[in-house]
Chain A
Amino acid sequence: MDWDCTRTEERLSDALAETLGSEESAAFQAHAGGCERCKQLLARVGGMVVELHELPWMEEPPFLASRILALTRGAPPEHVQKGWLAWPGGVWQTRLVMGLVTIAATALIVFHGLSAGAPGKLQFNPANLYHGVNRRAHLTYARGVKFVNDLRVVYEIQSRLSSQPEPAPPPAPEQRRPDSDALPQSENNTMARDSVVLTGLAVLMFPRGPQNLLDQTSRSLL
C-alpha cells in the first residue's frame, strides 16, 4: 500500500488513536519511519492532543447554578401543549392579566373623565386630567343626590295618600252623566294616586324633565 504525507494528515487522528487497519498501520509506520516531516507532525499533534485531554475544566462562576435555578424556579413544565391552542397558555399569565386590567382601568378613568371628543395632546396634560376626573366625580355625586331627593318626594306623596281616610260611599246616582266627573269618588282617588306615582317615576327616569310638574300635581291633590 502506498502512503504519503497527505495521507498521514488525512488519517492522523486514526493513527494517533491506533485505529488504523493492520495493512494501513504497516504502511504508515514504514512511511513515518523515513519521513521527518510526518514524524514531527505526529509528535506535535499527538503531544497537543494529550495536553488538551489533560487540561482541567474551568470552574464555573460561583452561584451560576443557583442563578439558573432561580431563573427557572422548580421543575420544568409537565406538559407541553401543542397545536393552535398552545399559545394562550403562555399569554394568560397573572402578570399580563393584571397589566391588562390596569390598562383598562386607566383608560376608563382617563377617557371617561375627559371630553367626548377625540383624545388630543392637551387631554393628557396632568392638569386637564385632574380637572376632567374632578368634574366627573362632582357630576356623579350631584346626580346621586338628585335621585335620592326625587325618591324621597315620591315616597312622601305615597305615604300621605295612603294615610288619608277612605271617603264615605256616595249616594246612588240619579242620572248618569256622560263626562268623566261622573266617576265615583273612590275611583277618582285611585286614578289620581296612580298618576302621581307615574309622574314620580317619569321624573326619576327623566331627571332633566320639568320638576314643577310633580310639585303642581302633588299640591293639587294634597
Chain B
Amino acid sequence: MEPDAQLVRLCIGGDGPSWEELVRRHTRRVYNLCYRFTGNSAAAEDLSQEVFIRVYRTLPSYQSAQGAFATWLTSVTRNLLVDHYRRTRRDRLTDSIDSVAQLEQHASPMRAPDSLVQAKELSVRVQQGLARLSPELREAVILRDLQGLEYAEIRSVLQVPEGTVKSRINRGRIELARILEEMGLRPA
C-alpha cells in the first residue's frame, strides 16, 4: 500500500496527525496547480483551501484501488478549478490587464541570485503563455509538463480517452512554444 493510502486509512480512522501530514505533503502540489491554472496567487490560495476542505469531507469516498491519492487529489482540484473558471468567466473579461500587471510585479524580486531571477522570469513568462491557451489545452500541458503526471493519470483526471489526452498535450505544447517565441522567449 502506498504511503498516502496508508495515511488516508489512518485519517479515516480518526488520526489527526495523519491528516496534518497529508495536508503538509500535498499543499504545494495543489497550490501550484491552482496558481498555474488561475494565474492569481490570492485565488490559488483560496482554491487550495477549498480543495482541502472538500477532500476533508469526502476522504472516506477515496478508494486506493482506483488509483494513487495524488491522482484523486488532482481530480478534486481540477473539478474545483473548472467550477471556478465557469464562475469567474465574466470577471476575467474585465480584469485581464490587472492580472498581467500583477504577474510582472512578481517577476522582479530584489537582491535575488541571477539563476533564481531567471527561473522566476521564466515562470512568469510561462504563466503568461499558459493564460493565452484554451482551458482544455492549458490543463493538459499543466498536468503533463508542470505536475509531471503520466498519460494514464491525466486520462483518469480529465475523464477522456488517452488518445485525446495525447492530442491535447501535443497541440498545447506546440501552441505554447509558439506563444513563448512571440514573447521573445527561446529555449536555451
Contact = CB atoms under 8 A, between A and B. Distances in A.
* A, B in one complex: yes
Contacts of A78: 12-14, 60
A50 B186 CA distance: 12
B61 interface: yes
Interface string B119-160: 100110010000000000000010001101000000000000
A77 to B, nearest CB: 7
Nearest to A67: B49
Interface in A17-50: 41, 43-50
Contacts of A57: 28-29, 32
A76 B23 contact: no
B181 interface: yes
B145 A53 contact: yes
Contacts of A91: none
Given A13-B170, A51-B187, A69 B23 contact: yes
B60 A71 contact: no
A182 to B, nearest CB: 88
B11 interface: yes
A140 B166 CA distance: 81
A132 B159 CA distance: 65
Interface in A55-81: 55-61, 64-65, 67-69, 71-72, 74-80
A12 B174 contact: yes
Given A60-B28, A64-B27, A76 B57 contact: yes
B103 interface: no
Given A9-B170, A13-B166, A51 B122 contact: yes
B170 A55 contact: no
Contact of A55 (B13, B146, B166): B146
Interface string A118-137: 00000000000000000000
Given A47-B188, A65-B24, A77 B57 contact: yes
Q: Interface of chain B, helix or strand or loop or mixed? A: helix
A52 interface: yes
The main secondary structure of chain A at its interface with chain B is: helix
B70 interface: no
Given A59-B28, A65-B27, A72 B48 contact: no
Contact of B123 (A12, A55, A60): A55
Nearest to A59: B28
A43 B19 contact: no
A79 B146 contact: no
Given A44-B177, A76-B11, A52 B145 contact: yes
B12 A51 contact: no
A50 B187 contact: yes
B52 interface: yes
Contacts of A45: 173-174, 177
B11 A75 contact: yes
Given A52-B145, A75-B19, A58 B123 contact: yes
B19 A72 contact: yes
B159 to A, nearest CB: 20
22 contacts: A13-B169, A43-B187, A44-B177, A44-B187, A48-B177, A51-B122, A53-B145, A55-B146, A57-B29, A60-B27, A60-B48, A64-B49, A72-B19, A72-B23, A74-B19, A76-B11, A76-B12, A76-B56, A77-B60, A78-B12, A78-B60, A80-B58
Given A51-B188, A55-B126, A55-B146, 19 more contacts: A9-B174, A44-B187, A45-B177, A48-B180, A49-B145, A53-B148, A58-B32, A58-B35, A60-B28, A60-B32, A60-B45, A61-B41, A64-B31, A64-B45, A65-B23, A71-B53, A75-B15, A76-B59, A78-B13
